[in-house]
Amino acid sequence: MQMKVGGQPADPLGEGWRQFSAAGSAHEFCRGWLKVQATLIEGARAGMLILRAETGKFAPAAIWPEGASDPAALAASAEQALGSGQPLVQRFAADEGAPARVQIAYPIRIAEALEGAVVIELIPASEPALRRATHQLYWGAGWLEVLFRRRQAEADGARAEVLQQAMDLAVATLEEPDLAGAAMALINALDAATGARGAAVGLYRGRRLRLQAMSHTAWFNRKSALLDTMLNAMEEVLDQHGPVAWPETAPTAGRISIAHEALSQRLGGSHILGVPLLAAGRPVGAILLEFDPEAPPAPLALALAEAAGAVCGTVLEDRRRADRWFAGRVPRALARFWDDLRDPRQVTGKLALAAVVGVLAALVLVRAPLRVTADAVIEGSVMRAVVSPVEGFVEAAPVRAGEVVRAGDLLAQLDQRDLILEELRLQSEAAQAASAYRDALVRHDRVEASVQQSRQAEAEAQLRLNAAQRARTEIRAPIDGLVVSGDLSREIGSPVEKGQPLFEVAPLESYRVILKVDESHILMVAPGQTGVMSLAAIAGQEMPITIEKVTPVSTPEEGRNYFRVEAQLAPGDAPLRPGMQGVGKVVIRDAPLVWTWVWPAVQWARIKLWSLAP
């Protein structure tokens, strides 16, 4: 029987078809379909459609009539049909005021996969009517395939779009030859594709995660607090082996996001999304995306970011390995050089190779003197010390160290006043003894005369000694030469002891060279070897030297051990002075040119390797 609405009979089937055919969403489609099925089945009182959700669980997709009071009564039959996978008819007798009813539960299969079930409750009917209702549900289930095909097409389209964008990101990354350019190209392209306002990528260097690049930034401070927070967020992603978001989204629900929350607060409440970078299924880094607080990431942003991490992680890892010196840069440079050599149009590489071969041949074939280098100092061949002959006080010092003197020149004068007074006393004693001697002769007193004569002789001897001591107060140069040490000009009036060294004088015409040879080279130096010396005061002038003596005594200096080697200078007219310093080189033998350069390093390496050997 048809109902009248506004004077016209109502058409439930037409209304259901219109709702079904005009459905704009999956929910409206399911509602319209269930309404059509319930209208076509005679005696239908209620219905419910259960379908598999995106999470994989079954959930009600539509209920008829809308707002049914007890959908749980239908859910039990649906669960039985889903469990058995077969159509089910259940009869319920009337009880406690509830009328008798029949429930038909029919499982829905799409491509042999169980995707849901539909339950229709109707008034008791005959077996033919129940079979017609079951057949209607069988044929009506085919219409649901449209919904599933539409869902599958939408999912496939979204997946294809994500894969296409991920491949575009991979192409943009592959176009960059080095790691820095590839990382920057990835995050800039990912910014544009996901609508993010900032991105960063971090890669493992050994066991440590380091920030590799930030979008729209050529340089960043690696010691900043923001950088530490970003690295913590990346570590949070890698520790959980999956995407992390703050605020949480449905795919990332339940994941720890403490570091992401801290980064969001530091960036003013931005939405943060982190995904791992994978290479051969192994995490090699992480990507962070920042979204505006008012524009959270779109549903496809996470899928695209994950796809980019899976596709571009291998590219970045390859670039990282190729960026290493011995595993990447050097082999690439050698490969480019080899290609240039084989290219007949490239002449530069061939000329460079010829130059390198020529230099190597010269280093091996050309022989040069192998020389030991040591610090050198000039000393006089004879060093005369001038000491104080007597005790006294300095009266004058006309000569100081550094002055050239002649033999007999006065170097210093000691005070003679005590000696002059002693001389006057002795002269008086000698005069008295002479007068007494004459008086004794007049008196013919031979004993007294002998005594006075002895006193006079003693006084005269003391006078001669006094004269000799006065002569010694004049300290004179023993030889012609240079005063090397001694300066009494600032010690006038100070006392000196007998035998105290006052000056050192070295001859100007006779010198020797002292070389300080390192202990690692001392066994190579022997008397008779020749060499050259250059002094700092006469730079550029080489003077021949000949080794005369190698002393067995070493001297520690500046953390090294040196041996004293004496050498003789060849005659020359160079203006030398004792104490001049320079560098001496002793010729050991002739050797290939390359060996003369590397043998000190070889000697050092030998002793180091031996010391490290067990």
pLDDT one-digit tens code per residue, 570-609: 877 677 777 889 999 999 888 888 888 888 888 888 888 8
pLDDT above 60 for 497: yes
Q: How far apart are CA 302 and CA 162, in angstroms?
A: 10
Instruction: Count CB neighbours of 240 within 10 A.
Output: 16
The residue-averaged pLDDT of 383-401 equals 80
CATH top-level class of 177-323? alpha beta
| Per-residue pLDDT at 584 | 92
> In the chain, what is the straight-line distance between the N-terminal and C-terminal CA atoms, in Å?
107
In which residue are the tokens 């990346």 written? 234
Q: For the chain, give the percent of residues with pLDDT over 90.
A: 7
| Range 202-231 average pLDDT | 82
Of the listed ranges 176-185, 277-286, 378-387, the one predicted with least confidence: 378-387
Tell me: pLDDT of 501 over 50: yes
Reading the block at residue 40, the tokens are 């076509």
Q: Can you tell me the mean pLDDT for 404-430? A: 81
Residue 11 CB partners (closer than 8 Å, separation 6+): 2
**Average pLDDT for 386-395:** 81
Q: From start to end of 125-250, where are the E strands?
A: 198-205, 208-214, 244-246
Q: What is the pLDDT of residues 93-123, one digit of tens each?
A: 777 666 788 888 888 887 777 888 888 888 8
pLDDT of the residue at 351: 83
Is the pLDDT confidence value at 51 over 60?
yes
CB 562 within 8 A of CB 517: yes
Question: The tokens of 128 are what?
Answer: 């033919």
The fold adopted by the segment(s) 4-154 is Beta-Lactamase (3.30.450)
Contacts of 560 (CB under 8 A, 6+ apart): 518, 519
List, for residues 292-329, the tens digit of each pLDDT value: 888 777 777 888 888 888 888 888 888 777 766 555 56
pLDDT tens, residue by residue, 124-169: 877 888 888 888 888 877 777 766 767 666 666 666 677 777 777 7
Q: Is the peptide bond before 297 cis (omega within 30 degrees of 0)?
A: no
Check pLDDT > 50 for residue 1.
no
CA neighbor of 87 nearest in space, from 45, 128, 137, 20: 137
Structure tokens at 300: 């496809």
Higher pLDDT, 343 or 279: 279
Q: Mean pLDDT in the chain?
A: 81
pLDDT at 6: 37
- For residue 408 the two structure tokens come to 């007999």
| Predicted pLDDT of residue 254 | 80
Question: Is the pTM higher than 0.75?
Answer: no
Where does 510-612 sit in CATH, by number?
Answer: 2.40.30.170
- Residue 19 in this model has a pLDDT that exceeds 70: no
User: What does the pLDDT look like over 284-297, one tens digit per residue?
Assistant: 899 999 998 887 77
Whether the Cβ atoms of residue 285 and residue 277 lie closer than 8 Å to each other: yes
pLDDT single digits (tens) 348-374: 777 888 888 888 888 888 888 888 889
pLDDT exceeds 60 at position 9? no
Element housing 566 (H / E) = strand 560-569
Picking from 422, 429, 500, the residue whose alpha carbon sits closest to that of residue 467 is 422
**In the prediction, which pLDDT does 70 show?**
64
Q: Distances in Å between the alpha carbon of 384 and those of 67, 68, 245, 404, 568?
A: 128, 130, 92, 14, 19
